[in-house]
Amino acid sequence: MDAETIELPVVAGTRPRATASPRQVLAIVSVGICLANLDLFIVNVGLPNIAQDFRDASLEDLSWILNGYAIAYAALLVFFGRLAERHSRNLSFLLGVALFTLASAACALARNVEFLVVARIAQAAGAALMTPTSIGLLLASFPPEQRAGAVRTWTAVGGLAAALGPLVGGVLVTFDWRWIFIVNVPIGLIAILIGWLRLPEVPGHDVPRPNPFAALLVTCGIGALTFAIVKANDWGWSSPGIIIGFAAAAVCLAAFIRHCLRSENPFVDPALFSVRPFTGATLVMAPYSAAFGAMLFSVALWEQTVWNWSALQTGLAIAPGPLLVPITSLLFAGRLIARFGAAAVASAGILSFAAGLVVWATLMGAEANVTAVVVGIMLTGIGVGLTFPTLMGVGAGSLPSSSFATGSGVINMIRQAALAIGVAIFVAILATPVSLADKIAAFHRGWWILVAITIAALVPNYLYIRRKVAR
């Protein structure tokens, strides 16, 4: 197959498809990751303004604007990824973009936190459909030797959108926080039009339907765990509600694992984890993503609640980190992987990310310190640029073509679930400090805990990815 073009047959009874190059497919499907990443960074910057509009909303309530999205996204990624494997990938991708666009408009119309959380869950459903189908289209379009590089580029383009997120969010929130959702609407409509005209047909595989009960189990398990962590300080760690929450999470997740191990049609095929690079990528992704989610939540909250910065100031200070993600990934990660291997590059990314958190934990105080914020966010940005694209390339690139959508969905499911748990952990650490000194101490304690969580990712990186390369 020519690396530059895909010749696709026209099926009787369907409309003719235009010939598309892999690079054109990459450009179109990157809109999916751009929408998801842009929305993530914009919402983080806008949370304090949303709190001002919904005056009865607590920090725990506001955290569900992020966590509701992350949990639904995590639970539905594999479910929709499996469904998408049965159907045309291009049409499934466009349906996901349409749902995300419609839900974004609903978010802009929200009049209370509860409605906004529900609309965010609908957004997550759209993102969960367009993410695995976009990477499925991408990996089906490139020859095997170019797939890892294509995935890194796809992830890096999402990083560029994330870099614009704080800036765009800071500007839009200056007018009204609702504009942070309205901005998704024209982007989504343009993507639907171009995708309908240009995306090639990628037919589905004859695979079994996913089990919806398993999707419900993992959703309830992650949701109960996140809820218990968020409410632990408020209700007390030994209170009946918290004990029931943790017990429900354990039962649901244990039942989900049992289903996967014993079912003839498992929601997540255990055979995927027989591929060591894939297993290593998922195990590294879990602690790293928890730290990443908490980091994004904490820095925006710190700047606007401790230093009383505006959303625009916050966006400008955060922007250098996300901006370094695509720069690091596109210009350096591929060359470094070719020379030193994926495990070494991921290790460097983990250590760089941890170093950024150390800067904040040691240098940030009551007085505004722009240098500390920028240095810390740049180190985390370099870390993300080295780690996330490398893990996605190692994990998805090691799978057979029939498992592209499901495999990438599993990695992203773990990533999104960890994001929600990371935010929940940080909310629990902050609790309700009564003074500025208590608030600062809580943030510092949280950042040191995130350092430990981040460093823990080095263990599976060594055991699964480095040893595989060595052999």
Q: Indicate the pLDDT class of residue 19, thresholds 50, 70 and 90.
A: low
CA distance 225 to 245: 6
- Are the C-beta atoms of 185 and 418 separated by less than 8 Å? no
Q: DSSP letter at 402?
A: G
Mean pLDDT over 352-368 rounds to: 96
CA distance 7 to 406: 25
Q: Indicate the pLDDT class of residue 108, thresholds 50, 70 and 90.
A: very high
What angle do the packed helices 89-108 and 113-141 form, to 10 degrees? Answer: 160
Q: Indicate the pLDDT class of residue 282, thresholds 50, 70 and 90.
A: very high
CA distance 183 to 200: 27
- In this structure, of 199-208, 215-224, 379-388, the range with the lowest mean pLDDT score is 199-208
Residue 19 backbone phi and psi in degrees, to 5: -70, 130
Q: Indicate the pLDDT class of residue 9, thresholds 50, 70 and 90.
A: very low
The residue type found at 110 is A
Q: How much is the pTM? A: 0.81
Say whether pLDDT at 181 is over 80.
yes
Mean pLDDT over 198-215 rounds to: 75
Helix, strand or coil for residue 15? coil
pLDDT at 387: 93
Mean pLDDT over 330-346 rounds to: 89
With a CB cutoff of 8 Å and minimum separation 6, the contacts of 314 are: 45, 166, 170, 300, 303, 304
CA distance 153 to 252: 36
Mean pLDDT over 282-288 rounds to: 94
Q: DSSP letter at 403?
A: G
Q: Indicate the pLDDT class of residue 55, thresholds 50, 70 and 90.
A: confident
Instruction: Name the token pair of 200.
Output: 């090639």
CA distance 76 to 70: 10
pLDDT at 398: 75
Say whether pLDDT at 149 is over 90.
no
CA distance 329 to 323: 11
CA distance 314 to 24: 35
Say whether pLDDT at 10 is over 60.
no
Per-residue pLDDT tens over the stretch 366-389: 999 999 999 999 999 999 999 988
- Are the C-beta atoms of 37 and 158 separated by less than 8 Å? yes
Per-residue pLDDT tens over the stretch 430-463: 877 678 899 999 999 999 999 999 999 999 999 8
Q: Indicate the pLDDT class of residue 16, thresholds 50, 70 and 90.
A: very low
Helix, strand or coil for residue 425? helix
Strand partners, 117: none
